[in-house]
Structure 1
């Protein structure tokens, strides 16, 4: 970014963001990248950045993920707002297959670093979505100090997640003041998006931790088939779906009256992130029978052990005194029937990060879930799972974070505008 751009006022930045976002209404502009392997019958797959809700939540889950959490390093509220404006402009461009800035990878001065890193040249948008979240540290620091005059607007539910039984959390994989979730059907497109947003944030934020993911482990649309996790089982069969409008209003989107001091979050949601390492080698030595008893479903079709097909309702009474679906099976422990009907929209991914120093696969599930209120939609379920779920013998949770995801943006707005206005 040039020295002149760094001196732009907040008003000028807001105006430039509005203009940049509005300009994206023209699909296939000259600055858009070409040549893609993900398309629809009507053309390349692109999701609009603007909308009532942020994209990347109910959007049909893409195949690849790059997630990053940040620490805020500035003490200036103006600098933070400026960053959110620049992030908004860049995200709006990249989700439409364009470079992060108008000058891009090739259009600036040859004597200066390019304004886009360039690894996505010739690649289309690939269904890229970029979703932003705010952590507890945006509002108060570790001592409770009001960092940016926002403490009075911190949502009551936005507190660090509790340390659940069995958690083996690593500080370098936990928490964060801000987060970005980039999902796409091309891994290089997702990495390009995060790389350029990180670059734009230099001097204002620093990366705390990040995670790459492949192979979605849930379905967020009825049009998608159910995928499998690294245990080999179908995952997310009963996940909340975008088409369930009444259910998403009840369980996913924050309501206007949910928290009077956090009215800015209405239309947004809460993002729960949990890094779950799988004890792959031990799991692989279990019999098929034992694996199915632990999960509560058949490994092939995904049907409940009580019978039927994948989408058949569970019969937890089948078997009488010796239940066909064991009381400590995963599906029973987390089922809405035992949690006042609570549901969540899961959006997790598999990961394999090489091997451990013991020669085991460093692999597992990067769990992401969106809920209307984590105090009722996630914490009780995770507590029960940590205490009673037979599957926890094969999972080691070493990362954990909670973020408030603000509502979407319209023309002339930036991510978080409802909070900072």
Structure 2
């Protein structure tokens, strides 16, 4: 990830940076680079600015142009963005005795760093090798020479950020969205609290896993002393698509996943099902969304011994082509009047036509975390969904309580976060919450 000079970069649009927004990392952010993980330095120039050498505020689609995605814009990138191949997801808790100013400056620092990293730049102007050799480098350096690889960074706020057992730590409890509560228990949950929840989350997606890991690693360093990493998850092999030209990928059960996902081109569906509307409350979240993350362990050894015809009956689709068992091709609408589709098959229970029209936008990933204590693969699906209201996901998940697939999966991690709208150029993620 090369750190270009201002002369090397495309000219950035002229922006007016509000006086309250720092033009570089805060002193706490600099200290985080110096102390976080024991491998950073203080050599970031505070005057580089949010616009310094960075293309800002231009929403771009990768593919034809190959250009990176902008961090700034009306919606946060990483939601309708074409799903990249790799994920590093991280949940954070604010440290004890931090205050409102600590939270705001952390979000400003993360936004500043994200605006650089998503453009293929290092976390600072001096980067991994350009600073004082007598101090630790600003950037960890493992992404040197790599492109942005379609990196997107998406930031969210969990229920406990607004209020927890210590009360209203940051003076924002009154602005918590009504629907932003810890998800209820669902039938079959076997949740590990060490893999669940969190005050803040960062979703980093890229086509190169090293780029995604580099982003979380450096953002964690910046947070040092203000927020600590609670848990994280690596993902590979996307299990959804958000554009029509992306082929439908397969999950670790071998089935095409996300055939009927909401696509970025369907603005009507996005407005109805994904984006918080102008009429919704709270006002600061309008244009944003809600993210649900669920770590779903797949009992793959048991599944692999199931007859093919039974696997098809459980899913409700053909394993080869992904077509519904009622006939047609992958994108043919299932005929639920047909006896070919079992009443408790996954495709029937999850279909909007059987769920009062509830739809979600999915961005899931496969994961393999080595072997468990029984010598079996610790593998499954890291499920990510975006919806206008968490109640929509809850309604859908409850409908899946009789899903035949439940015999072969366990939900082991869970969390929900409010995802604010995209930041205006020169501002920071979630600024409206503190207005």
TM-score by length of 1: 0.90
1:106 aligns with 2:121: no
How far apart, CA to CA, are the structure 2 residues paired with 1:257 and 1:24? 38
Structure 1 segments (4+ residues) deviating >6 Å: none
d(CA) in 1 for partners of 2:155, 2:420 = 8
In structure 1, C-alpha distance between the alignment counterparts of 2:356 and 2:412, rounded to whole Å = 28
What is the alpha-carbon distance in structure 1 between the residues aligned to residue 55 and residue 159 of structure 2? 37
Native 8 Å contact 1:272 1:403 kept in 2: yes
Match in the other structure for 2:50: 21
103-112 or 306-315, which deviates more: 103-112
CA contact (8 A) 1:253 1:371 kept: yes
In structure 2, distance between residues paired with 1:45 and 1:379: 37
The aligned residue for residue 167 of structure 1 is: 189
1:270 and 1:403 in contact (8 A); partners too: yes
Where do residues 179-328 of structure 1 align in structure 2 (5 Å cutoff)? 179-259=201-281, 262-318=282-338, 323-328=339-344
Q: Would you say 1:402 and 2:416 are equivalent positions?
A: yes
2:398 aligned residue (371, 375, 383): 383
Structure 1 residue 40, shift from structure 2 partner: 4.3
2-structure distance, mates of 1:400, 1:287: 31
Alpha-carbon distance in 2 for matches of 1:274, 1:160: 12
Question: What is residue 81 of structure 1 aligned with on the other side?
Answer: 104
2:359 match: 343
Tell me the SS of whatever aligns to 1:351: strand
Deviation by residue 1:65-107 (Cα, 9 ceiling, x = unmatched): 0000001114211111111111001000000000011221112
Kindly state the Cα deviation for residue 343 of structure 1 after the two structures are TM-superposed. Answer: 0.3
Distance 1:158 1:325, change over 3 A: same
- Please give the alpha-carbon distance, in whole angstroms, between the structure 2 residues aligned to 1:55 and 1:40: 15
User: For residues 204-246 of structure 1, what are the alpha-carbon distances to aligned partners after superposition, in whole Å with 9 as ceiling and x for unaligned?
Assistant: 0001100000000000111111000000000000001101000
2:384 & 2:429 partners in 1: Cα distance? 20
Q: Distance in 2 between matches of 1:326 and 1:353?
A: 33
Gaps of 5+ in 1: 1-9, 28-38
Q: Distance in 1 between matches of 2:254 and 2:119?
A: 35
> Could you tell me how far 1:346 is from its partner in structure 2?
0.2
Deviations along 1:147-199, whole A, 9 cap, x unmatched?
Answer: 11100100001000001110000010011000000000000000000000000
Displacement of 1:13 in angstroms is 4.8
Corresponding position of 2:11:
none
Equivalent in the alignment of 2:69: 47
Contact 1:182 1:190 in 2 (8 A): yes
DSSP 3-state at the match of 2:219: helix
Measure how far apart 1:417 and its partner are.
0.4
Q: Check whether the contact 1:45–1:126 (CA below 8 A) recurs between aligned residues.
A: no
Match of 1:329 among 319, 337, 345: 345
Shift of residue 412 of structure 1? Answer: 1.6
Contact 2:278–2:286 (Cα < 8 Å) also in 1 = yes
Correspondence for 1:373 among 380, 389, 395 = 389
**Alignment partner, residue 3 of structure 1:** none
**RMSD of aligned alpha carbons:** 1.6
Q: Is contact 1:24-1:96 (8 Å) kept?
A: no
Q: Structure 2 stretches of 5 or more lacking a match? A: 1-17, 26-46, 57-61
CA contact (8 A) 1:130 1:180 kept: yes
For 1:172, what is the secondary structure of its paired residue?
Answer: helix
- 1:32-71 deviations in Å (ceiling 9; x for gaps): xxxxxxx8453x4411111100000000000000000001
1:228-274 superposed Cα distances (whole Å, 9 cap, x missing partner): 00000000000011010001000000012211xx2100000000000
1:21 to partner: Cα distance: 3.0
* TM-score, length-scaled by structure 2: 0.87
SS in 1 for 2:214: helix
Compute the displacement of 1:12 (Å).
Answer: 6.3
Contact (CA 8 Å) 1:24, 1:92: kept in 2 or not? no
The SS at the match of 1:397 is: strand
